[in-house]
C-alpha cells in the first residue's frame, strides 16, 4: 500500500469520528429543553412514573416491605400460622412465624432487597406507560428499554431512570435519555421504625410477656382458693375470655413517643421504649378470628380442681382449700402498624407462649417437639386393620406408643401396612371420628398383624336428678371411668347437657352442689409438745414443754355438697343406639352446719348409690 492510500484512510476515519461526535453534541443540545408543544406528553410520562412509584410504595407498606412476597408456606394443627397473615383479604408476610413443621423462621426484607424489588417493578411498569391519548392527537413516541435506579429515603423515593425517549409533534422533536423523579413517601421512615419495634420484641419478648400477664389475669393458671367446693372451668369459656382479653390488652400497647397522652400512671405499663421517641402513629392489633392455638394441660374439659381438707384423715386441718395448676401452650399473631393520615406500613409477628413461658427463639425447634429417636427407627413391618362392632371397615389414624413415647404411623384405609418401631408390650392406638379411641397391646419386635375393633360413640342428652327431682339452682360434676379401659370423662352439669359414650363397663360418680351460706369462724388452738432442753441437760434426757398457737382462718362455704353417689353400670351398644337420654338420679345428703359435717358428707358419698337409666 502506498503512502497516499494510507493518508486517504486516515482522512476518512477522522471524518467518521467527527460526524459521530457532532451527532451526540447535536443530540445533547436538543434534550436540554423540551418544547412547549411536547411538554404535555413528557409531563404525562413523569406523572405516570410518579403514579407507579406511589402504587409500588403503597403495596410494599401493606405487604410488610415486599413487592414480590416470599413463597407461601402452610401452617399445621400445632402451628396455626402460615407464612402470611390474612388481613382484610390481603396476605401480609410474617416477619417472624412458626412453620407448619414447628421451626421458628424470620423473613424480613432488607432495604437493599426492597430497593431491588422496586427497581424491577418500575422497569416493567415505566415501559408500559401508555401514550395512546397523545398519539391520537398527532404525537409520535419512540421508547427504549428503561433502567431504573431507586433510593428509598426517610420521606422521599428518588428515581434516576435511564431510558431513551423520543417525542415528536409536527416539526418539533425532543430526544431524552435520562429522567429524574422524586415522590413523597415515608416508606423508608416507617420501615426503620418497624425494624426498631421488631428488634425490641426479638430482644425483650415484650409481646410474649404481655400475653403471659393476660393469661394469668383472665385464665386459671396456678393458685389456691380457700373454699370447700371444687373449682370448675369450661375450656371453651376460658379460651374465649382469654382471646377477648388479649384483643383489648394488645390494642393498648404503645411505643414511647408523642402520638398519645397517658391518662394515668398505670398506663405506663403498656409503653415500650424502642430507643427513640416516635411521632408517627403505632398500632398493635390482635383479633380472636385470626389463627390462634390455645392448648391447656391437663387436657380435660371441664377443668376441675378438687378441694383439699375434706378427705378422710384431713379433718385436723379445720379448713379446706382448692389448689390448681394448669399449663398453657399459646400461639397467636400480632399485627403492628405504623401510619399517618395518608400511609400505613404493617407487618405481623407470631407470639408463642410455651408451658406458660415466653418461647421466642430464632432458628430453634418450636412446636411440635423434635421427633423422638424411637420414631426415627421404624424396622418392623406390621399390618393394622380397623373395624366397627359390625366388622365393617373404619378409616382410623394409627399411632404407636412405647412407654412414654408416641409415634405417628399412618391411616388405615381400611388397612395399613407400615413399619413400626420395635418395642415389647407397646400399644397401637387407633382413633377415628365418631369412635372411642382403642389401645391395642402388642409386641413389635417381629412382623405381625392387628385387627382392632372400635366402639362407636353415641351422643345422648344428659339429665341429672336429685331424689328424683330435676336440678334447679344446683350444679353437678359427673365422672365416668371405663373399667379396664381407656375412656375417662368428666362433665359439669348443667353447663354440659350432652354426653358421648361407647359400650363398656363404667364407674359412675356424681357430686351435687348447691348454694350455701355456711360460715366457719376462725379459731386459735394452743398445742404443747415436749422437747429436749438445751445444753447438757438435754443430753441426759431432760425436757421442757413448748407451746404454740395454731390459727385456723375463717371460711364461708358458698357452694356445699348436697348429694351424689357412686355405681357401676354396663352400657350395652344396643341400648345406646336406641336411646336419646341418659338419666342419673342421685341421693341427697344432710345439710351441713359445720366443717366436720361437711367432711362427713364426702365420706357418706361412698355409701350412696345412683340410679342410671337410658330412655
- Domain limits at 393? 373-453
Residue 86 CB burial class (10 angstroms; 0-12, 13-18, ≥19): middle
Residue 58 CB burial class (10 angstroms; 0-12, 13-18, ≥19): middle
Q: Is the pTM of this model over 0.85?
A: no
In a domain, 222, yes or no: yes
| Start-to-end C-alpha separation, the chain | 123
> For residue 267, what pLDDT band results from cuts at 50, 70 and 90?
confident
In a domain, 23, yes or no: yes
Same domain, 560 and 499: yes
Vertex 194: Cα angle to 192 and 196 (nearest 5): 70
In a domain, 308, yes or no: yes
Same domain, 199 and 308: yes
Cα separation of 108 and 66, whole Å?
Answer: 9
Cα separation of 48 and 526, whole Å?
Answer: 92
Same domain, 232 and 148: no
With 70 as the cut, is the pLDDT of residue 548 above it?
no
Same domain, 23 and 63: no
Same domain, 493 and 540: yes
In a domain, 94, yes or no: no
Same domain, 26 and 114: no
Cα separation of 384 and 343, whole Å?
Answer: 59
In a domain, 88, yes or no: no
What is the maximal distance between C-alpha atoms in the chain? 141
Same domain, 348 and 319: yes
pLDDT per position as a tens digit, 433-477: 999 889 999 999 899 999 999 999 999 999 999 999 998 888 899
> For residue 29, what pLDDT band results from cuts at 50, 70 and 90?
very low
Give the DSSP H/E element, type plus range, for residue 407: strand 405-411
In a domain, 121, yes or no: yes
The grid coordinates of residue 389 equal 362392632
Cis peptide before 494 (omega within 30 of 0): yes
Same domain, 298 and 399: no
Number of domain units in the chain: 5
> For residue 365, what pLDDT band results from cuts at 50, 70 and 90?
very low
The grid coordinates of residue 198 equal 421488631
Cα–Cα distance list, 339 to 45, 259, 283, 302, 305 (Å): 29, 11, 8, 44, 47
Domain limit, last residue, from 385, 419, 453: 453
> For residue 19, what pLDDT band results from cuts at 50, 70 and 90?
very low
Cis peptide before 414 (omega within 30 of 0): yes
Cα separation of 506 and 480, whole Å?
Answer: 6
Domain limit, last residue, from 165, 185, 205: 185
In a domain, 273, yes or no: yes
Mean pLDDT within 410-415: 90
In a domain, 140, yes or no: yes
Same domain, 202 and 342: yes
Same domain, 529 and 429: no
For residue 406, which of 382, 387, 384, 423 has the smallest C-alpha distance? 423
Cis peptide before 16 (omega within 30 of 0): no
Domain limit, last residue, from 358, 387, 411: 358
Strands 378-387 and 415-421: antiparallel
Vertex 364: Cα angle to 358 and 369 (nearest 5): 80
Cα separation of 200 and 213, whole Å?
Answer: 18
Same domain, 539 and 566: yes
Give, as one character, the DSSP assignment of residue 275: S
Cis peptide before 371 (omega within 30 of 0): no
Mean pLDDT within 71-98: 86
Per-chain mean pLDDT for the chain: 85
The more confidently predicted of residues 487 and 71 is 71
For residue 283, which of 340, 244, 242 has the smallest C-alpha distance? 340
Same domain, 476 and 515: yes
pLDDT per position as a tens digit, 123-132: 999 989 999 9
Least confident of 155-169, 197-211, 302-316: 302-316
Amino acid at each position: 500500500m502506498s503512502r497516499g492510500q494510507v493518508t486517504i484512510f486516515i482522512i476518512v476515519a477522522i471524518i467518521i469520528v467527527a460526524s459521530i461526535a457532532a451527532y451526540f453534541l447535536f443530540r445533547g443540545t436538543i434534550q436540554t429543553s423540551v418544547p412547549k408543544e411536547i411538554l404535555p406528553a413528557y409531563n404525562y410520562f413523569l406523572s405516570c412514573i410518579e403514579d407507579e412509584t406511589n402504587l409500588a410504595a403503597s403495596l410494599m407498606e401493606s405487604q410488610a416491605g415486599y413487592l414480590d412476597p416470599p413463597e407461601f408456606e402452610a401452617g399445621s394443627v400445632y402451628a396455626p400460622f402460615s407464612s402470611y397473615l390474612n388481613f382484610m383479604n390481603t396476605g401480609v408476610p410474617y416477619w417472624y412465624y412458626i412453620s407448619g413443621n414447628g421451626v421458628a423462621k424470620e423473613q424480613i426484607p432488607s432495604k437493599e432487597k426492597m430497593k431491588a424489588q422496586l427497581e424491577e417493578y418500575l422497569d416493567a411498569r415505566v415501559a408500559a406507560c401508555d401514550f395512546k391519548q397523545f398519539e391520537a392527537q398527532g404525537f409520535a413516541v419512540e421508547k427504549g428499554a428503561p433502567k431504573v435506579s431507586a433510593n428509598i429515603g426517610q420521606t422521599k423515593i428518588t428515581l434516576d431512570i435511564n431510558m431513551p425517549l423520543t417525542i415528536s409533534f409536527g416539526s418539533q422533536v425532543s430526544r431524552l435519555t435520562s429522567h429524574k423523579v422524586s415522590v413523597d413517601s415515608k416508606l423508608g421512615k416507617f420501615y426503620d421504625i418497624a425494624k426498631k419495634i421488631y428488634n425490641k420484641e426479638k430482644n425483650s419478648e415484650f409481646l410474649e410477656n404481655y400475653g403471659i400477664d393476660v393469661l394469668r389475669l383472665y385464665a386459671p393458671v396456678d393458685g389456691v382458693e380457700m373454699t370447700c367446693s371444687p373449682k370448675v372451668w369450661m375450656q371453651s369459656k376460658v379460651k374465649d375470655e382469654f382471646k377477648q382479653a388479649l384483643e383489648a390488652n394488645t390494642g393498648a400497647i404503645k411505643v414511647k413517643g408523642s402520638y398519645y397522652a397517658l391518662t394515668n400512671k398505670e398506663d405506663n405499663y403498656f409503653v415500650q421504649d424502642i430507643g427513640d421517641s416516635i411521632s408517627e402513629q403505632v398500632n398493635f392489633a390482635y383479633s380472636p378470628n385470626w389463627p390462634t392455638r390455645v392448648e391447656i394441660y391437663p387436657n380435660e374439659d371441664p377443668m376441675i380442681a378438687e378441694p383439699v381438707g375434706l378427705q378422710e384423715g384431713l379433718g385436723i386441718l379445720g379448713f379446706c382449700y382448692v389448689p390448681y395448676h394448669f399449663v398453657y401452650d399459646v400461639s397467636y399473631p400480632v399485627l403492628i402498624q405504623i401510619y399517618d393520615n395518608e400511609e400505613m406500613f404493617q407487618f405481623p409477628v407470631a407470639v408463642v407462649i410455651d408451658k406458660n413461658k415466653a418461647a421466642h427463639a430464632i432458628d430453634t425447634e418450636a412446636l411440635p417437639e423434635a421427633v423422638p429417636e424411637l420414631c426415627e427407627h421404624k424396622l418392623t413391618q406390621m399390618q393394622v386393620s380397623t373395624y366397627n362392632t359390625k366388622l365393617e371397615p373404619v378409616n382410623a389414624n394409627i399411632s404407636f406408643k412405647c412407654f412414654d413415647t408416641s409415634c405417628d404411623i399412618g391411616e388405615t384405609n381400611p388397612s395399613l401396612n407400615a413399619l413400626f418401631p420395635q418395642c415389647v408390650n407397646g400399644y397401637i392406638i387407633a382413633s377415628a371420628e365418631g369412635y372411642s379411641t382403642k389401645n391395642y397391646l402388642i409386641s413389635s419386635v417381629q412382623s405381625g398383624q392387628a385387627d382392632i375393633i372400635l366402639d362407636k360413640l353415641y351422643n345422648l342428652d344428659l339429665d341429672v336428678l336429685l331424689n328424683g327431682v330435676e336440678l334447679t339452682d344446683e350444679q353437678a360434676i359427673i365422672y365416668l371411668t371405663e373399667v379396664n379401659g381407656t375412656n375417662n370423662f368428666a362433665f359439669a352439669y348443667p353447663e354440659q347437657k350432652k354426653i358421648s359414650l361407647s359400650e363398656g363397663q363404667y364407674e359412675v360418680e356424681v357430686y351435687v352442689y348447691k348454694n350455701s351460706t355456711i360460715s366457719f369462724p376462725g379459731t386459735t388452738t394452743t398445742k404443747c409438745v415436749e422437747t429436749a432442753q438445751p445444753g447438757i441437760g438435754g443430753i441426759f434426757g431432760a425436757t421442757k414443754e413448748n407451746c404454740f398457737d395454731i390459727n385456723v382462718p375463717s371460711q364461708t362455704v358458698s357452694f356445699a355438697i348436697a348429694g351424689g353417689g357412686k355405681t357401676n353400670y354396663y352400657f350395652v351398644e344396643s341400648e345406646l343406639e336406641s336411646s336419646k337420654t341418659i338419666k342419673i338420679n342421685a341421693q341427697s345428703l344432710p345439710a351441713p352446719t359445720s366443717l366436720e359435717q361437711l367432711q362427713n358428707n364426702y365420706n357418706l358419698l361412698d355409701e350412696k348409690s345412683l340410679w342410671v337409666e337410658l330412655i
